């Protein structure tokens, strides 16, 4: 079978090809492209039985151009960029790389919490300008209540790290869970009691616009929001307005309604007290190596 990597998944082509040696020994053809070129996806996938990629949207036009396709091995956790209904209709197997970025995203979440509380970005700019005093005082996350929305693997790891920093952790989840040291509450209680609200829920019809103006109005004026889940789970306009009006104290986002680079008219760009990162929560060397192993294992299981 022909296996096509539409990108090298953050690694070198040589590293991916070495990891694919067992597949080659079984007689499979492996093609690894050295860069991400969404406009060339259809051309590059020509004749492929298996396609590997991370988060580039693959819709009906792509599937129409790949009649031999038997599997999409997605090097990503979420699958909202894949036309799942069309894949099911065509009998195309779709597997994600569940679990590869658990540690990476959880650590980034804590990073964003501390970054907001200690005004890291603002103080860096002041220092580099060689002008003015630092922004002070900052705040400590120790002793604060962290409310985690979504208690899958990443939410649970974030809870453990937050507890290690001395935080009280409360959580909301669609289905009940038992997690050590975590008290589960309803959504309204979480919003009212939390100093830091961290989002770790998947994007679907139920979670789109999960936080809107009415939700921000329930929160403490000193509270901050950290979104490392998916951009559309938070209403962008409402979040920007809540920040500008002082309804909440700050927000850190690594995800948006669409991939960075952001449009220049995105309201978060002019909202105060924000930390805006370019969707890098999953991007660590350790996570990339782990996900390549998961991707290849998914392909081997298909065969």
pLDDT in tens, 76-113: 988 989 999 999 999 999 999 999 999 999 999 999 99
116: tokens are 């907001």
For 173-200, the pLDDT digits (tens) are: 999 899 999 999 999 999 999 999 999 9
Catalytic residue among 259, 286, 291, 300: 259
85 tagged catalytic: no
Confidence band for 134, pLDDT divided at 50, 70 and 90? confident
User: According to CATH, what is the number of the domain 2-98+284-302?
Assistant: 3.40.50.720
Q: Is residue 251 a contact partner of residue 223, using CB atoms and an 8 Å limit?
A: no
Same fold, 2-98+284-302 and 102-276: yes
* Pairing status of strand 145-149 against strand 250-253: unpaired
259 tagged catalytic: yes
279 tagged catalytic: yes
The CATH fold assigned to 102-276 is Rossmann fold (3.40.50)
Contacts 24+ apart (CB under 8 A), 258-263: 258/231, 259/55
- pTM, rounded to two decimals: 0.90
Per cent of the chain over pLDDT 70 is: 100
The domain limits of the chain are: 2-98+284-302, 102-276
DSSP codes, 172-232: E-SS----TTEEE--HHHHHHH-SEEEE----STTTTT-B-HHHHTTS-TT-EEEE-S-GG
Catalytic residue among 119, 200, 230, 291: 230
Catalytic residue among 241, 279, 291, 300: 279
């Amino acid at each position: 079978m022909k296996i096509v990597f539409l990108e090298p998944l953050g690694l070198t082509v040589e590293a991916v090809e070495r990891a694919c040696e067992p597949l080659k020994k079984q007689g499979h053809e492996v093609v690894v492209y050295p860069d991400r070129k969404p406009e060339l996806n259809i051309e590059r996938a020509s004749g492929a039985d298996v396609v590997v990629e991370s988060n580039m949207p693959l819709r009906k036009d792509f599937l129409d151009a790949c009649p031999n396709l038997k599997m999409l091995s997605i090097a990503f956790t979420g699958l909202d960029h894949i036309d799942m209904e069309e894949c099911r209709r065509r009998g195309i197997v779709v597997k994600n790389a569940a679990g590869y970025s658990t540690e990476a995203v959880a650590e980034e979440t804590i990073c964003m919490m501390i970054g907001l509380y200690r005004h890291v970005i603002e103080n860096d700019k002041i220092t580099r300008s060689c002008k003015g005093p630092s922004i002070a005082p900052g705040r400590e996350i120790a002793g604060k209540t962290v409310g985690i929305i979504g208690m899958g693997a990443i939410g649970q790891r974030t809870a453990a790290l937050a507890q290690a920093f001395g935080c009280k952790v409360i959580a909301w989840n669609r289905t009940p869970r038992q997690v050590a040291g975590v008290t589960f509450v309803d959504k309204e209680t979480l919003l009212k009691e939390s100093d830091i609200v961290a989002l770790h829920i998947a994007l679907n019809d139920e979670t789109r616009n999960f936080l809107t103006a009415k939700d921000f109005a329930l929160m403490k004026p000193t509270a901050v929001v950290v979104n490392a889940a998916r951009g559309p789970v938070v209403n962008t306009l409402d979040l920007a307005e809540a920040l500008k009006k002082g309804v909440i104290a700050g927000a850190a986002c690594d995800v948006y309604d669409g991939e960075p680079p952001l449009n220049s008219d995105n309201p978060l760009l002019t909202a105060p007290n924000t930390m805006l990162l370019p969707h890098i929560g999953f991007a660590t060397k350790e996570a990339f190596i782990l996900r390549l192993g998961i991707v290849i294992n998914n392909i081997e299981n298909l065969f």
